[in-house]
Structure 1
């Protein structure tokens, strides 16, 4: 009998996910960039997310510690009204679109999410929040201007407002093989409270 060996660690982050119609609206705007820069590593639309805290590789056994406090946090919060807007890049290699809307509420949520992680005793790199959604990464042999060109194509984009209604605890398979990065919800919780902070 073959038993699958379970990994000892999992790469984890906590995030918000735009609804499908908001993602499809941006994907339509990106069509010229998809055609102009087909060799870039475009993230799958179903994997688009707004990271609140990136934990990196953590022991699988620590993941259950996060579930109760994240569930409590979501239960105390109301949904946030956000939208996708504009574009930019990190180091001319990573293409992103920005986030607009209730940014103060988003920052407060991220602060509280990170406090939960710390209270669970999980070490992580607590970088300043730069709300964005990563769209693509350039490959080593892509034209030097690929990411900048793609960013310019959606610089004026402002998407429709949407409600961030769930808090997602996400695992990824990055570093697990040569294929594309895929994400999966470990668990997600609805925002059911009446406060934004």
Structure 2
């Protein structure tokens, strides 16, 4: 399949999003890095998320099948208490912020999300959950910026917050010069008992 989505497919994942206050706190911490490393491809703050399940390229007609099962899951789950903490990188090319807090609850939620997706007839790749927020990517000719920024984030500890909503997200996966953009297809509040 072509790397660019056509009108009959969409790249989909299920995620949690930090609240604006937590994102703003991390964004303030990153300001010196934004100035020192402008050559990095920084993700938009509004797109920061914690992926629970990556579904890949799906036919648009499949997406509605996920809505009710995900809504039902969110209705029986309480919010998960999390925080942003530290930083790291994948292969010296992808910069991320770490996740702290109720990691056992986060892993349980991810397992439940994946079960719901598979019960809806959507196959998933088996990937271990490595909770993180992707912040930026290095350009091919820049092998050292990401590890340097990750080291600068090592001592960052953000405030605690509750992941209040489950998000079904689509991306306009273009390979052009601009960043990947995400949009909520739908989201549901966690309304179960604490």
TM-score, reference length from structure 1: 0.93
2:52 is the counterpart of 1:52: yes
CA shift, 1:35, in A, is 1.1
Which consecutive residues of structure 1, in runs of 5 or more, have no partner in the other structure? 1-5
Is the 8 Å Cα contact of residues 114 and 124 (structure 2) preserved in structure 1?
no
Task: Flag structure 2 segments of 5+ consecutive residues without an equivalent.
Answer: 1-5
Structure 1 stretches of 4+ moved >4 Å:
none
Q: Which residue of 1 aligns with 2:85?
A: 85
What residue in structure 1 maps to residue 3 of structure 2? Answer: none
Match of 1:18 in 2: 18
> Is 1:175 the equivalent of 2:174?
yes
State how far apart, in whole Å, the 2-side matches of 1:126 and 1:186 are.
23
Deviations along 1:156-182, one digit per CA (max 9) or x if unpaired, are 000000010000000001136442111
* Distance across 2 between alignment mates of 1:176 and 1:91: 20
Alignment of 1:30-69 (within 5 A): 30-69=30-69
- CA distance in 2 between counterparts of 1:79 and 1:104 reads 13
CA distance in 1, matches of 2:154, 2:146: 12
Return the TM-score normalized by structure 2.
0.95
User: What per-residue deviation string (whole Å, max 9, x for no partner) do you get for residues 108-164 of structure 1?
Assistant: 00000000111111122120001100000011122x210001101111000000010
Q: Is contact 1:53-1:126 (8 Å) kept?
A: no
TM-fit CA distance, 1:53: 0.2
Give the distance between the partners of 1:177 and 1:138, measured in 2 at CA: 16
What is the 5 A alignment of 1:1-197? 7-142=7-142, 144-175=143-174, 177-194=176-193
CA RMSD between the two structures? 1.1
Aligned-partner SS, 2:158 = coil
Matched residue pairs, number? 189
Mapped contact 1:41–1:137 kept (Cα < 8 A): yes
